[in-house]
Chain A
Amino acid sequence: KQEVTQIPAALSVPEGENLVLNCSFTDSAIYNLQWFRQDPGKGLTSLLLIQSSQREQTSGRLNASLDKSSGRSTLYIAASQPGDSATYLCAVVNAGNMLTFGGGTRLMVKP
């Protein structure tokens, strides 16, 4: 059974810092990995999708990497802003066409 873990569970940083969020998974036979953002009480916004054959994806200030063999992904956020404050979730897809989510990292960026 796939298990996804995100570390740290919460993070507070001053504005302007570069930061790294970590995601690990136990079963490396994944189809893809997706990073999401969730604002309080809201739905999920897709940030980046990394296919199993890819090593990284970039979108603006966000960069996500994937190391399937070690079961790890990182989300790098450059020059953080208060508007980046949210919960960040990673999710993997194995056979069965379902997303298995980590517990999330709650990020607070202080002005």
Chain B
Amino acid sequence: KAGVTQTPRYLIKTRGQQVTLSCSPISGHRSVSWYQQTPGQGLQFLFEYFSETQRNKGNFPGRFSGRQFSNSRSEMNVSTLELGDSALYLCASSPEGAGELYEQYFGPGTRLTVT
């Protein structure tokens, strides 16, 4: 089975621009979660999508948004980029979500640099 894939792997953007990142979960997984990893804040939860609906949301500003398609693929969008948005963005998939029984499987991440 193919793992979680994320595209692109690397991005360089300028302040004020917007960016869209993509995540394809493991086949059969319906939950996709997004995390931001920075040296200062570590790994922080952005949001989770399940069956095309946002089920949970972390404490991030509204500039961060996402969606999920009927094939479970997910995209996240960051508008009006700030220097502090430079980070490794990771997505994770699991069959039903991070409940008791389910492991979360992570993709390789997208490294976003904002200049």
Contact = CB atoms under 8 A, between A and B. Distances in A.
B99 A93 contact: yes
Contacts of B48: 97-98
A105 B108 CA distance: 19
B106 A103 contact: no
Given A31-B98, A97-B56, A43 B90 contact: yes
B70 to A, nearest CB: 20
Interface in A23-39: 31-32, 34, 36
Nearest to B96: A97
A104 B42 contact: yes
Contacts of A44: 90, 92, 106
A89 B106 contact: no
B26 to A, nearest CB: 12
Contacts of A45: 106
A31 B103 contact: no
B97 interface: yes
25 contacts: A31-B100, A34-B104, A36-B106, A41-B111, A42-B108, A43-B90, A43-B108, A44-B92, A45-B106, A46-B103, A46-B104, A51-B100, A96-B56, A97-B48, A97-B97, A97-B98, A97-B99, A98-B56, A98-B58, A99-B33, A99-B43, A99-B104, A101-B44, A103-B42, A104-B42
Interface of B: 4, 6, 31, 33, 35, 42-45, 48, 55-56, 58, 88, 90, 92, 97-101, 103-109, 111
The 10 nearest A-B residue pairs measured at CB: A44-B106, A101-B43, A98-B45, A43-B108, A97-B97, A31-B100, A93-B98, A43-B106, A97-B98, A49-B103
